[in-house]
Amino acid sequence: MRSRIYSTIINIAFLVILSGIFYLQVLRWPLYNTLAKKNHVRLIPFPGLRGTIYDRNGLAIVDNRLSFDVVIIPQEVENTDKTYGTLAQVLGMPRSRIESIVKKEYTAPFAPITVSGDVDKDLAFSLEEQKQRLPGVLVLPRTIRWYVYGERASHIIGYLSLINKKELEELQDYGYSVSDLIGRSGIEKAYDRYLKGEDGGMQLEVDASGRLVKILGSKNQKKGTDITLTVDAKLQAYTADCLEGKRASAVFMDPRNGEILAMASSPSFDPNIFIEPGKNDAAVRYVNSSARPMLNRAINGQYPPGSIFKVILALAALETKNATIHTTYVCPGRYYLGRSEFDCWKLEGHGPQDMRDAITHSCNVYFYNLGRKLGPDTISEYAQKVGLNKPTGIDIGGESGGLIPNPAWKKARRGQNWYEGETVNFSIGQGDVLVTPLQMAQVASVFAMEGAAPRPHLIKKIGDSEVAVPKSRIIPMSKDAVRAVKSAMVNVVSSDTGTGQRARVEGLKIAAKTGTAQAPNGEPHAWFMGFAPADDPKAAFIVMVENGGHGGVAAADIAGKVLKFAKENTDILK
């Protein structure tokens, strides 16, 4: 009896053990098999670097550089108290912050937690030297995007940020993955799929202490395609420097083929800041700033053109035979339409002016007369003919189209008739008319090339292959007419009574036109549009300074400085 009890207990125990083994090995095999694999197989990603962006002369504008992250591996920290204390001291951040980072980012005891990203190189080295005293603290090198020119080229280049969930769903098939950075504006956005590198990785077998046992497989990472821009980095940097402290933009472009040599907008932003998640505050400050540093004023700023519009009127009048170069009007300083009075900017009047004089002195009364003779439809037609009222088609996209009004537009849009007074305003580039600086750079090119509108673009080469230059749009026009306007534009700078004298550059013949446009508040906007050398144009330009004041002084100054720099330090004008 007693031995029966005993053997029954033994039998039951063996049965329980057998069931336990069966449960683990047969029923739960899928789970434990995955766990075993996870245990000994590690995936080490090799991020594929983004392509480098070069300027037209092969200088790197955007590159990749080594950065150092300070990380903590929780299971290897021996003395938490001492480690956090020392780290707080070395990194100059409060201890509580380190603690909260570790708490927030903790995933597994062996998974590194980044406490501080991209630390100073000297700091990284000194931490590396103290390695023995701080077990569990590591300095990990990582390659990050490096915007060499920072704020000075950011509107062309754009910036990167983490891909979001929706984009990931759309782009997954193109090799994008969770932690990828994606271009948000400029070249980084427009050419993202070329610049993006292909991630590689290695599958390793490791033992219990994480040591490498063997390599199970690997795939090499591939760097993205390098891109060469039409931009001259030195000129770009100098132009950006000239705009600093103002709300302004400037475009320098090769009128022969539409290559953008420099395109700056101020205020600007530093794209390096968007790379580091820790610097979110700075990025938010950019977005919320009333000065709108993220706005590329060169392609998205829309303003009335003011007097630089007059050259279009002059061309239209000559072409339509409504005037000759000798047609003369007397300027008494004001112009009457019925009982309304329109002023010339020179209140004492310019006296008798022919077309060349009127352009040189930017006489309003002359163009009031010319405008009324042409009528709003003809002015509008010519403005659109030289490329206004629609985007220029620059390859970074997202640009604004401006607005060229006419009676039909007003009727359709506002249900109102066109007033004669509007024609008077329209004649000097005021009223409803809006243009972007880039559009006016294109207009400058049309005059420079005597009837060929180039398509502005920034890309020169993708990898080693040249990108085909987009063909200029040919605008049929009388060569005599456009040359007459050009010679008047030369006078603007060279004549001692010209409005653009301040842009003079020793040994360089510049053709230009100043502009002053009424701003809704504050000082008027200052414009300066032109090209150089006048006889063999190699650079067309536009400079626009918001609230820059009367007579185009502020804008002409900048254009002159940049042209001088270009002549002395680059081979653009050679």
Angle among Cα 93, 99, 101 to the nearest 5 degrees reads: 85
Instruction: State the number of binding residues for another protein (CB under 8 A).
Output: 34
For 16, the 3-state DSSP assignment is helix
Q: What is the token pair recorded at 391? A: 């985007």
Following CA atoms 378, 403, 387, 326 in sequence, which dihedral angle do they give, to the nearest 10 degrees?
A: 40
Query: Which one of 25, 89, 126, 218 is in contact with another protein (CB under 8 A)?
Result: 25
Cα 495 to Cα 512: distance, rounded to the nearest angstrom: 12
Rank residues 79 and 179 by Cβ distance to another protein and give the closer one.
Answer: 79
Nearer to another protein, 31 or 287 (CB): 31
Give the residue with the Cβ less far from another protein, 30 or 141.
Answer: 30
Contact call for residue 35 and another protein (CB under 8 A):
yes
Q: From the CB of residue 94, how many other CB atoms can be counted at a distance below 10 Å?
A: 10
Catalytic pick among 67, 307, 362, 427: 307
3, 107, 290, 465: which one binds another protein (CB under 8 A) = 3
Q: Which of 120, 128, 129, 205 binds another protein (CB under 8 A)?
A: 205
Strand, helix or coil at 201?
Answer: strand
Contact with another protein (CB under 8 A) among 8, 22, 57, 332: 22
Quick check: 10 binds another protein (CB under 8 A)?
yes
3-state secondary structure 530-560: EEECCCCCCEEEEEEECCCCHHHHHHHHHHH
Residue 106 interacts with another protein (CB under 8 A): yes or no: no
Whether 307 is catalytic: yes
* Member of 40, 133, 142, 285 binding another protein (CB under 8 A): 40
Nearest-approach distance from CB 74 to another protein, in angstroms:
10
Question: Does 290 help bind another protein (rule: CB under 8 A)?
Answer: no
Considering the complex, what minimum distance in angstroms separates the CB of residue 213 from another protein? Answer: 6
Residues 6+ apart with CB under 8 A from 484: 314, 318, 325, 355, 356
* H/E segment holding residue 251: strand 248-253
Q: How far is CA 150 from CA 45, 195, 249, in A?
A: 28, 18, 17
Residue 14 interacting with another protein (CB under 8 A): yes
Helix 364-374 vs helix 376-385: crossing angle, to nearest 10: 100
| Nearest approach, Cβ of residue 21 and another protein (Å) | 5
Q: Tell me the H-state helices in 130-269.
A: 154-157, 165-171, 186-190, 192-195, 233-243
Residue placing its CB nearer to another protein in the complex, 216 or 474? 216
The structure tokens listed for 480 are 């005599």
Looking only at residues 208 through 267 of this chain, which bind another protein when binding is defined by CB under 8 A?
A: 208-209, 213
Using rule CB under 8 A, residue 207 touches another protein = yes
Using rule CB under 8 A, residue 75 touches another protein: yes
For 121, phi then psi, to 5°, come to -60, -45
- The distance of closest approach from Cβ of residue 11 to another protein in the complex, given in angstroms and rounded to an integer, is 8
User: Which C-beta is closer to another protein: that of 36 or that of 408?
Assistant: 36
Q: Which one of the spans 1-9, 141-149, 188-196, 312-320 is the region binding another protein (CB under 8 A)?
A: 1-9
Which residues bind to another protein, rule: CB under 8 A? 2-3, 6-7, 10, 13-14, 16-18, 20-22, 24-26, 28-29, 31-33, 35-37, 39-40, 75, 109, 205-209, 213
List the catalytic residues: 307
